[in-house]
Amino acid sequence: MAERPQAVVVGCSAGGVQALGVLLGGISPELPLPLIIVCHTGSEDVEMLCDVLSMKSALPVQEASERHAPAAGRVYIAPAGYHLLLEADGCFALSVDARVCYSRPSIDVLFQAAALHYRQRLVGVVLTGANDDGAKGLKAIRDHGGLALVQEPGTCVASAMPEAALRIAGADAVLPLIDIAPFLNRLCHS
């Protein structure tokens, strides 16, 4: 990654709420970019997820909303039932297109849209999960020059998602969950 990152996108599924708590608990309150998350929870209550994660995070956590531009130092959670994308102007867009990997929101959809927008200034993170959503999106991030981080499968509640990401996209770093936030802090402040 030649340029300083401008955004971090994160995807997770089974075990993801706990993993996000660990990740967000370690993120610096001075993070100079937005952190955008798709978490498959099976729940329609994204507001409750935001509340739970807010208790762990030094950064404000909110549901991503249509036509809102992601701001530095904030955490955005994809709304239930919608794919989360980024438009050419950098604003969020929501879509009810068909499910991808049985999911809407889909990690692949967010990662692919973010890769097109941020290109080499994007960091993608795949955490614990029980399907292969995120693998193709992580490949798109790497293909556009961005950085790919994958949770070490042995530290996952469900290792299928990071294993698929490693098989399909590879990674620039494979880290235990506890080491991902410090890595991002160093990367984004260097």
Q: Where are the alpha helices (DSSP H) in 120-176?
A: 135-143, 160-168
Task: Of 65, 68, 72, 143, give the one whose Cα is nearest residue 111.
Answer: 143
Let me know: does 124 contact 108? Beta carbons within 8 Å: no
* Strand partners of residue 33: none
Helices 16-26 and 177-189 cross at an angle (nearest 10°) of 40
Task: Give the residue numbers marked as catalytic.
Answer: 13, 40, 133
Question: Around Cβ 143, how many Cβ atoms within 10 Å?
Answer: 12
Q: Tokens representing 78?
A: 């994809």
Could you tell me if residue 154 is left (phi over 0), alpha (psi between -120 and 50 degrees) or otherwise beta?
Answer: alpha
Residues 6+ apart with CB under 8 A from 42: none
